[in-house]
């Protein structure tokens, strides 16, 4: 009987690290583990990278396969700024993707270079989320910390380097920095924000090996380590996503994306022209406020998260942490259209509607950027922590007018990383591995009539809110 071959895929997300041990041949999950992270509150969103490393060790150990895995790969939250000193230790806590303090620096970069030129050169128009804005913020507000930095990394870079000793990244995660131009680092942008390119990791080719596990670590020495990537790119791999198939992910953030053949360049900034973890592109729109914002409304109302009611005229824009799509980093939550007979359940449903609206409004632009027909009839793949919630499912069905498919596979980011690790051993592409594992299969919820009245109410309220903030309508 042939020996079972198992790989470990790791998802280091905003709030926790999850590890899956996966059988290379069948795709069966044979072990799993997780460990939490702590994130600061308030306007700042920071986390100690050492905590991620400790959580990685704990999560991997809990799979039961740390000493037997054949390969490993790490996916992690995008955009975070990790600054390391000469000793390889963090100079300060990492600035996370949802820290909006760098909004002024993002605006300065847009003004200095121009949105159309930035989109042409990097594929995206940077917001506060992008790493370039965060480095500019650090130089402006904590210059001593910036001066002590001997290396600048993204979260997955930091963890991969800890495993292998190699300063490397991949094109998918690099494309979310705002300083990578598709075929290399943009030295003009780096100069404008005062970042020496020598501090950055080398960008590996898709499918390359990052190195092997060093001695004395949670995993067995000598195990090959794949390039890893950002969390959205890993989820696309985990689905075995083919070009043009739309995905809506419901997590701490909300994203909608599709694989495309050519890099988009949206000067309006709605669509980020990210690279995927292979040789293609992953046009994507992202909101800061998704499942956590809706859960917060449920808590304020004293309701269960699925305890919603139809009807009513209320509109909720749940911008509890500012917002990225639309780009309103200083925004706060807004409730409009309350009546004497508005019920708590109707108000909670309005929070779901407001959170889903921004993503679905961007869906057509994402599909066009991917070279796909927005009127296509393929079901929308619904993934992430909220995907199995009945209220989320019904909200997406009602506001999209599309059929929705919910994959049975869980932890798709970790599965995508596992597919990368397996590809090192089998010679396949990572997305082909995931398709062989049949990760995207799951029930299809039939399309329902689109709720145009709700969409119009939300759109009108959003236009008024943008006008009050002085933002373009």
The three-state DSSP-derived secondary structure of 320-335 is ECEECCCCECCCCCEE
For β-strands 202-204 and 168-170, DSSP reports them as parallel
State residue 321's pLDDT score.
85
pLDDT at residue 111 greater than cutoff 80: yes
pLDDT at residue 273 greater than cutoff 80: yes
Condensed to tens digits (0 to 9), the pLDDT of residues 200-242 reads 999 999 999 999 999 988 899 999 999 999 999 999 999 999 9
Residue 19 confidence class, pLDDT cut points 50, 70, 90:
very high
- State what percent of residues in the chain have pLDDT above 70: 98
- Cβ neighbors of 40 (< 8 A, separation 6 or more) are 46, 47, 93
> How many other C-beta atoms are found inside a 10 Å radius of the C-beta of residue 441?
10
- Cβ neighbors of 349 (< 8 A, separation 6 or more) are 308, 309, 310, 312, 391, 395
Residues designated catalytic = 231
Tell me which residue has tokens 């159309």.
116
> How many other C-beta atoms are found inside a 10 Å radius of the C-beta of residue 243?
14
Kind plus residue range of the DSSP H or E element containing 47? strand 46-47
pLDDT at residue 470 greater than cutoff 60: no
Token couple for 68: 């037997």
DSSP state of 81: B
Residue 375 confidence class, pLDDT cut points 50, 70, 90:
confident
State residue 44's pLDDT score.
81
CB 403, CB 445: distance < 8 Å: yes
pLDDT at residue 2 greater than cutoff 80: no
State residue 471's pLDDT score.
55
Residue 328 confidence class, pLDDT cut points 50, 70, 90:
confident
Grouping H, G, I as helix, E, B as strand and the rest as coil, residue 237 is helix
**pTM of structure:** 0.93
pLDDT at residue 468 greater than cutoff 80: no
Considering the chain, what is the average pLDDT of its residues? 94
Grouping H, G, I as helix, E, B as strand and the rest as coil, residue 290 is coil
CB 230, CB 78: distance < 8 Å: yes
Mean pLDDT of all residues in 321-331: 85
State residue 457's pLDDT score.
95
Cα-based distances in Å from 209 to 27, 28, 77, 168, 227: 21, 23, 20, 10, 6
State residue 347's pLDDT score.
96
> How many other C-beta atoms are found inside a 10 Å radius of the C-beta of residue 263?
21
For β-strands 29-36 and 72-76, DSSP reports them as unpaired
Residue 45 confidence class, pLDDT cut points 50, 70, 90:
very high
């Amino acid at each position: 009987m042939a020996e079972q071959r198992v790989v470990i895929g790791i998802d280091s997300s905003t709030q926790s690290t999850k590890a899956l041990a996966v059988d290379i041949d069948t795709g069966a999950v044979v072990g799993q583990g997780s460990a939490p992270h702590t994130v600061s509150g308030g306007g700042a969103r920071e986390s100690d990278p050492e905590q991620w490393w400790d959580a990685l060790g704990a999560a991997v150990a809990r799979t039961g396969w740390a000493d037997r895995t054949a390969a490993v790969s790490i996916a992690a939250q995008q955009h975070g700024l990790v600054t390391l000193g000469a000793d390889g230790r963090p100079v300060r806590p990492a600035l996370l993707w949802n820290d909006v303090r760098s909004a002024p620096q993002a605006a300065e970069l847009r003004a200095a270079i121009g949105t159309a030129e930035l989109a042409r050169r990097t594929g995206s128009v940077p917001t506060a989320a992008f790493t370039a804005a965060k480095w500019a913020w650090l130089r402006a507000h904590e210059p001593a910390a910036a001066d002590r930095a001997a290396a600048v990394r993204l979260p997955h870079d930091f963890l991969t380097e800890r495993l292998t000793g190699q300063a490397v990244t991949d094109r998918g995660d690099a494309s979310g920095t705002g300083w990578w131009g598709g075929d290399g680092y943009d030295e003009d942008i780096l100069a404008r924000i005062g970042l020496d390119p020598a501090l950055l990791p080398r960008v590996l080719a898709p499918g390359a090996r990052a190195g092997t596990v060093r001695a004395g670590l949670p995993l067995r020495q000598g195990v090959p380590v794949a390039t890893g990537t950002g969390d959205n790119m890993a989820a696309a791999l985990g689905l075995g996503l083919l070009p043009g198939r739309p995905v809506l992910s419901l997590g701490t953030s909300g994203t909608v994306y599709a694989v495309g053949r050519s890099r988009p360049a949206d000067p309006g900034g709605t669509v980020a022209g990210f690279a995927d973890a292979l040789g293609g592109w992953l046009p994507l729109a992202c909101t800061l406020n998704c499942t956590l914002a809706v859960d917060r409304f449920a808590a304020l109302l004293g309701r269960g998260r699925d305890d919603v009611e139809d009807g009513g005229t209320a509109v909720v824009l749940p911008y509890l942490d500012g917002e990225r799509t639309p780009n309103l980093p200083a925004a706060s939550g807004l409730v409009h259209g309350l009546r004497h007979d508005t019920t708590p359940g109707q108000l909670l449903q309005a929070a779901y509607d407001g959170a889903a609206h921004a993503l679905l409004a961007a869906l057509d632009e994402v599909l066009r950027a991917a070279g796909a027909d927005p009127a296509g009839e393929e079901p929308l793949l619904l993934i992430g922590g909220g995907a199995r919630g009945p209220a989320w499912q019904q909200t997406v069905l009602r506001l999209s007018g599309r059929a929705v498919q919910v994959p049975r596979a869980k932890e798709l980011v970790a599965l995508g990383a596992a597919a990368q690790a397996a590809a090192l051993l089998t010679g396949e592409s990572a997305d082909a591995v995931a398709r062989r594992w049949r990760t995207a299969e799951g029930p299809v919820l039939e399309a329902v009539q689109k709720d145009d009245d709700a969409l119009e109410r939300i759109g009108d309220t959003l236009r008024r809110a943008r006008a009050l903030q002085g933002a373009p309508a």
